Amino acid sequence: MIHAVIVGDQRQIMIPDLTELRPGKRQLRGVRLIHTHLKGEPLSQDDLTDLALLRLDFIAALTINTDGMPGAAFLAHLLPPGPSGEIYEVHPPQQIHQIDFELTPFLKELEAEFDRQQNQTLETSQQDRAILISASKKHRLDQETSMDELAELARSASITPIDRVMQRPKKLHPKYLLGEGKLKEVVMQAMQQHAELLIFDQNLSPLQIRMIGEVTEMKVLDRTQLILDIFAQRAVTREAKVQVELAQLRYRLPRLSERSTALSRLTGGIGGRGPGETRLEIDRRRARDRIARLEQEHELLAGARKQRRHKRTQNEIPIVSIVGYTNAGKSTLLNQLTDSQVQTENLLFATLDTATRRIRFPEEREIILTDTVGFIQSLPPELLGAFRSTLDELSDAHLLIHLADISSVRLEQQIKTVEKILIDLELSETPVLLVLNKIDQVDEETQQILLNRYHATGTSALDKKSLLPLLETIKHYFWTEVEG
Ligand SMILES: Nc1nc2c(ncn2[C@@H]2O[C@H](COP(=O)(O)OP(=O)(O)OP(=O)(O)O)[C@@H](O)[C@H]2O)c(=O)[nH]1
Ligand SMILES: [Mg+2]
């Protein structure tokens, strides 16, 4: 069936939007594109990009002889992923009447092969497969360490990163972040490797999210959305859930976009305010209503938290709060010091709530120890805002234990990040004890160098004995002066 006849000029044709022509989960779109090349030229790179990105069944270019009769025909089709890494096959030119290529059975087989491979990949990994992308003007090393962290974040969100694309452009593209050509390359790569998700290490503007989504027809996440996703997966208590959803809605609201005009025309007037309201307006209004409701609930929960805090501060028992980069071992330390069972995991953002326990020292002395959500570089402000009431507890602390992972290659950067966030949280007045954890992971010499460099106490939260110096320091801090 001829779906459309498109008339262009000698330079280009404009292919209409084909998104609605995607029957179910088929690998090929069911559209064959036959067009003319007036100067007898073979298929161009643009043609082949269209073939791949639009998932055309095939693309053909017909040339015209000087007598007006059809000349050679160029034909190309997609290839299932194979060892060669080729995405498409371009056939040698043939006179149109000489083509003896049975298209329909061939395409059927091709489609079946795509399906088979797709199913295989799905079996080997139940998780989302993603390509990680970074376009930044930072130093290469910073860009790389940030990408390493993005990969860890992805893993923490149960996503499998299968490839990385790094670009250091002179100018970041306002619509696509990457150059448009590069972005198309990435999509072809994604198709070849059965990735359905693109994750950007940079935060994308509302315009970029929309444009990249339109060009690639893939799921697109940026760093903040990924972090919010992890938080959403982890939230257990009602308060954490409310806080995360609020942060997500606040981040999404300006990014809600008109997907399809056809859809908005259909929904206008049904259940909406009245005729003329678009899908987008409905979505925005729903999001705003939900935000208002969650804010109310959040206020109630925050009130209850305040009362609990009030009681605690009235006790005049010293409060020590453990802060630090995510995965530094904060919860493990709390558990070890207080014989408790707060959940610990080798994942980013294992803890989202505050846990409070007591440590008893001899002579009836005790302190209250709290553990809370970890920090990370470029912590989304939406998140910091939503977790304000949780983080506000930190302002009750008489002493902060800043726990850092001595074995991390990003140690210095992580310490600086935490210090900066403490300033943002207006905690620069609270005394801080820097503790380097996981000393079991580095050799003796490195350990000594780093402990000296940072004037820090060392611990291995897995080993109770190693915590004695830290306990001594805490005891000393609160009680020595009194004893005089
Ligand atoms: N080798 C070693 N591993 C440790 C040590 N302390 C913690 N870990 C491990 O590090 C991982 C993270 O520990 P958590 O206590 O969950 O870290 P956290 O700082 O609470 O992390 P978030 O709650 O995600 O911010 C876990 O797999 C722990 O077993 C240590 O001293 N040495
Ligand atoms: Mg924790």
Nearest C-alpha to atom 1 of ligand 1 is from which residue? 438
Query: What is the rounded end-to-end Cα distance, in angstroms, of the chain?
Result: 95
**pLDDT tier at 21 (50, 70, 90 boundaries)?**
low
In the predicted structure, residue 431 carries a pLDDT above the cut 90: yes
In the predicted structure, residue 166 carries a pLDDT above the cut 90: yes
What's the length of the chain? 484
pLDDT of residue 25: 55
Which H or E element spans position 276?
none
In the predicted structure, residue 22 carries a pLDDT above the cut 90: no
> Residue 406 Cα, ligand 1 centroid: separation in angstroms?
12
Paired strand residues for 77 = 89
> Residue 250 Cα, ligand 1 centroid: separation in angstroms?
31
For residues 450 and 444, the answer to whether their CB atoms sit within 8 Å is: no
C-alpha distance from residue 372 to each of 18, 34, 308, 324 (Å): 49, 61, 16, 9
Indicate whether 1 belongs to any domain.
no
Same domain for 202 and 138: yes
> Residue 440 Cα, ligand 1 centroid: separation in angstroms?
12
Q: Which two tokens stand for residue 391?
A: 């983080």
Same domain for 249 and 212: no
Ligand 1 site, residue 440, Cβ cutoff 6 A: yes
Ligand 1 site, residue 462, Cβ cutoff 6 A: yes
Q: Alpha-carbon distance 219 to 118, whole Å?
A: 17
Q: Alpha-carbon distance 423 to 405, whole Å?
A: 20
Question: 14-23, 41-50, 66-75, 405-414: which has the highest mean pLDDT?
Answer: 405-414
Question: 98-107, 351-360, 450-459: which has the highest mean pLDDT?
Answer: 450-459
Task: List, edge to edge, every strand of the sheet that includes 399-405.
Answer: 355-361, 365-371, 319-324, 399-405, 432-437, 457-458
Same domain for 447 and 399: yes
Q: Which two tokens stand for residue 31?
A: 């559209």
Ligand 1: which of 322, 344, 349 to mutate, judged by most atoms within 8 Å of the beta carbon? 344
pLDDT of residue 296: 94
Q: Domain end: 122, 147, 167, which one? A: 122
Indicate whether 8 belongs to any domain.
no
> Residue 370 Cα, ligand 2 centroid: separation in angstroms?
11
Ligand 1 site, residue 326, Cβ cutoff 6 A: yes
Question: 46-50, 121-125, 312-316: which has the highest mean pLDDT?
Answer: 46-50
Planar angle of CA 346, 352, 356, nearest 5 degrees:
100
Q: What is the pLDDT of residues 293-307, one digit of tens each?
A: 999 999 998 888 888
Paired strand residues for 261 = none
Q: Domain end: 93, 122, 151, which one? A: 122
Q: Which two tokens stand for residue 185?
A: 């390359």
Indicate whether 2 belongs to any domain.
no
C-alpha distance from residue 401 to each of 246, 321, 388 (Å): 29, 6, 19
In the predicted structure, residue 405 carries a pLDDT above the cut 90: yes
Q: Domain end: 122, 137, 152, which one? A: 122
Question: 26-35, 387-396, 434-443: which has the highest mean pLDDT?
Answer: 434-443
Q: What is the mean pLDDT of the chain?
A: 84
Q: What is the pLDDT of residues 367-388, one digit of tens each?
A: 999 998 899 887 778 778 777 7
Same domain for 323 and 280: no
Candidate from 14-18, 80-84, 160-164, 301-305 with smallest mean pLDDT:
14-18
pLDDT of residue 393: 85
> Residue 129 Cα, ligand 1 centroid: separation in angstroms?
26
Q: Where are the alpha helices (DSSP H) in 315-380?
A: 330-338
pLDDT of residue 263: 32
Same domain for 249 and 177: no
- Greater pLDDT, 74 or 382: 74
Ligand positioned closest to the Cα atom of 323 = 1
Which H or E element spans position 241?
helix 238-252
Q: Ligand 1, closest atom to CA 463?
A: 31
Same domain for 252 and 227: no
Q: What is the pLDDT of residues 437-459, one digit of tens each?
A: 999 999 999 999 999 999 999 99
In the predicted structure, residue 278 carries a pLDDT above the cut 80: no
Q: Ligand 1, closest atom to CA 324?
A: 19
Q: What values do phi and psi take at 459, rounded to 5?
A: -145, 160
Same domain for 421 and 346: yes
Of 272, 207, 214, give the one whose Cα is nearest residue 54: 214
Same domain for 105 and 151: no
> Residue 326 Cα, ligand 1 centroid: separation in angstroms?
9
In the predicted structure, residue 124 carries a pLDDT above the cut 60: no
> Residue 101 Cα, ligand 1 centroid: separation in angstroms?
61
Nearest C-alpha to atom 30 of ligand 1 is from which residue? 438
For residues 475 and 457, the answer to whether their CB atoms sit within 8 Å is: no
pLDDT of residue 265: 29
DSSP summary character for residue 369: E
- Greater pLDDT, 175 or 151: 151
Ligand 1 site, residue 44, Cβ cutoff 6 A: no
Indicate whether 343 belongs to any domain.
yes
**pLDDT tier at 266 (50, 70, 90 boundaries)?**
very low
Structural domain including 137 reads 125-231
Q: Which two tokens stand for residue 169?
A: 């452009």
Tell me the torsion sign for CA atoms 278, 283, 289, 295: negative
**pLDDT tier at 484 (50, 70, 90 boundaries)?**
very low
Q: Which two tokens stand for residue 179?
A: 């150059």
Ligand 1 site, residue 458, Cβ cutoff 6 A: no
Ligand 1 site, residue 375, Cβ cutoff 6 A: no
Indicate whether 153 belongs to any domain.
yes
- Greater pLDDT, 51 or 417: 417
> Residue 351 Cα, ligand 2 centroid: separation in angstroms?
4
Same domain for 70 and 114: yes
The CATH number linked to 400 is 3.40.50.300
For the packed helices 206-216 and 180-192, what is the interaxial angle rounded to 10 degrees?
Answer: 50
Candidate from 45-59, 127-141, 423-437 with smallest mean pLDDT:
45-59
Indicate whether 271 belongs to any domain.
yes
CB atoms within 10 A of CB 465: 6
Which amino acid belongs to residue 227?
I
Indicate whether 307 belongs to any domain.
no
Q: How many structural domains comprise the chain?
A: 4
Ligand 1 site, residue 372, Cβ cutoff 6 A: no
In the predicted structure, residue 273 carries a pLDDT above the cut 50: no
Same domain for 326 and 475: yes
Q: Alpha-carbon distance 320 to 358, whole Å?
A: 10
Same domain for 142 and 106: no
Over residues 245-261, mean pLDDT? 75
Ligand 1 site, residue 389, Cβ cutoff 6 A: no
In the predicted structure, residue 186 carries a pLDDT above the cut 70: yes
Candidate from 9-23, 182-196, 295-309, 357-371 with smallest mean pLDDT:
9-23
Same domain for 362 and 445: yes
In the predicted structure, residue 324 carries a pLDDT above the cut 60: yes
> Residue 327 Cα, ligand 1 centroid: separation in angstroms?
5
Indicate whether 221 belongs to any domain.
yes
Collapsing DSSP states into helix, strand and coil, what is residue 382? helix
Question: 117-126, 131-140, 205-214, 280-289: which has the highest mean pLDDT?
Answer: 131-140
Of 169, 99, 109, 157, give the one whose Cα is nearest residue 130: 157
Of 335, 319, 325, give the one whose Cα is nearest residue 430: 319
Ligand 1 site, residue 441, Cβ cutoff 6 A: yes
Ligand 1 site, residue 329, Cβ cutoff 6 A: yes
Ligand 1 site, residue 377, Cβ cutoff 6 A: no
In the predicted structure, residue 14 carries a pLDDT above the cut 50: yes
Paired strand residues for 199 = 132, 221
Over residues 111-126, mean pLDDT? 71
Q: Alpha-carbon distance 441 to 108, whole Å?
A: 55
